[in-house]
Amino acid sequence: MNNKTLNKSTSVERSDESESQFGNKMLCLSYESTTGWSSPQIKPYAPITISPSAECLHYGQTVFEDMIAFNINHSTHIFKLHAHLEKFNTSLKRIEMPEVEIESLISGINQLINDEQEFFQNDNNSSIYIRTVMFASESKLGVSKSETYELITFISSLPTNSNYNLPSPLKVYVEDNYVKSVPGGAGYTQFGGNYASSYLATLNASQLGYDQVLWLDGINRNYIQEIGNMNVFLVINNQIITPSLNGSIVPGITRQSVIELAADLGYQVTERQISIKEVFESYKEGKLTEIFCTNTLHTITPVSEIKYNEDILTINNHSAGSITQDLFNTYTSIQNRTLPDKHNWNYSIEEAVKI
């Protein structure tokens, strides 16, 4: 994001290693088991202090959710806000953390976005990233859930026009040693440990010249699951196929939106198990023509190459296919309100009463 809208004296302090710029404020809520949730408070964006014995540091109770807000012609909206917060609660429930009061959190987010309007670019057509994180804060050594929690929501920049251009295709390495999740685990959640445990496999793939890992199921090492932390779709015989949710795959908001949107556009969509063997056989038969993955930040990203053992698949001559491009164009046009939002996916931010 263009830094000229930020206070130059603080922008460097609020820049991470990827050069994202963070907002001036953050939304904070606290939870205590005896009293429940506090009222939302807007505070200056700043470092936080926790005890060295805080349970999140030792036993991993930390969950996050991300969303995108758009500012179009001086009007701000968040894409599928309620769906994201419902997904957040699903993650919290699995990690034995207190679920949030969605309407109270929305009220706080509404105020945060109102207070951070200067963070949007001056061209009146921009987007920002919203991150909500919750962690166990009780100072206690003992393997049990915390009695206190902190929730923080803050914003950061996105690359200019990131939601207008299809991302560059990914080269993907099939991981058949490490696994991301198994049914019955927490792989379908936004639990922080799911991300840390993927780093080694991703590093190994990177050293071989690949951008991401294609995970196989954790039991048979046979069925495809996700690409990195993104949901995956394949186009076989002009039919869109995505792995069915089985308790180890994240039920991505973009995934579900693409399924609905593809049906609207007249494509046949199937959710089912698909093996890595079927992927390669379909390719050899000339039936597999496109692969793409979905997530909140990049919406839809094409896949140009897959390596599995000694075999390499080159997808659509290393370029995005027509179905991938059609879905991306339509999806982002709904986000940017250049196409009708018939599903009411965009939540409009209203002028808020100060909290």
Name the amino acid, one letter, at 98: P
Give the model's pLDDT for residue 162.
57
How far apart, in Å, are the Cα atoms of 279 and each of 108, 189, 233, 275, 285? Answer: 45, 26, 11, 6, 10
With beta carbons less than 8 A apart as the criterion, state whether 216 and 277 touch.
Answer: no
Give the model's pLDDT for residue 351.
61
Give the model's pLDDT for residue 124.
57
Cα–Cα distance for residue pair 23/14, rounded to 1 Å: 8
Q: What is the distance of C-alpha 213 from the center of its chain?
A: 16
Give the model's pLDDT for residue 299.
94
The H-or-E segment that residue 207 falls in is: helix 199-207
Give the model's pLDDT for residue 2.
36
Give the model's pLDDT for residue 20.
64
Q: Which residues contact 183 (CB under 8 A, 6 or more apart)?
A: 218, 219, 246, 247, 248
Give the model's pLDDT for residue 125.
59
Give the model's pLDDT for residue 123.
54
Name the amino acid, one letter, at 279: V
Cα–Cα distance for residue pair 62/235, rounded to 1 Å: 36
Q: Please report, in tens digits, the pLDDT of each residue of the chain (355 residues total).
A: 333 333 333 433 455 444 568 999 999 999 999 999 999 999 999 999 999 999 999 999 999 999 999 988 888 999 999 999 999 999 999 999 999 999 999 999 999 999 998 887 655 558 899 999 999 999 999 888 999 999 999 999 886 555 578 999 999 999 999 999 888 998 899 999 888 989 999 999 999 999 999 999 999 999 999 999 999 999 999 999 999 998 999 999 999 999 999 999 999 999 999 999 999 999 999 999 999 999 999 999 999 999 999 999 999 989 899 999 999 999 999 999 999 999 999 999 986 545 4
Q: What is the distance of C-alpha 328 from the center of its chain?
A: 16
Q: Which residues contact 206 (CB under 8 A, 6 or more apart)?
A: none
Give the model's pLDDT for residue 73.
81
Phi, psi dihedrals of residue 93, rounded to the nearest 5°: -60, -40
Phi, psi dihedrals of residue 217, rounded to the nearest 5°: -65, 150
CB atoms within 10 A of CB 266: 6
3-state secondary structure of 346: strand
How far apart, in Å, are the Cα atoms of 152 and each of 14, 31, 315, 326? Answer: 15, 12, 41, 36
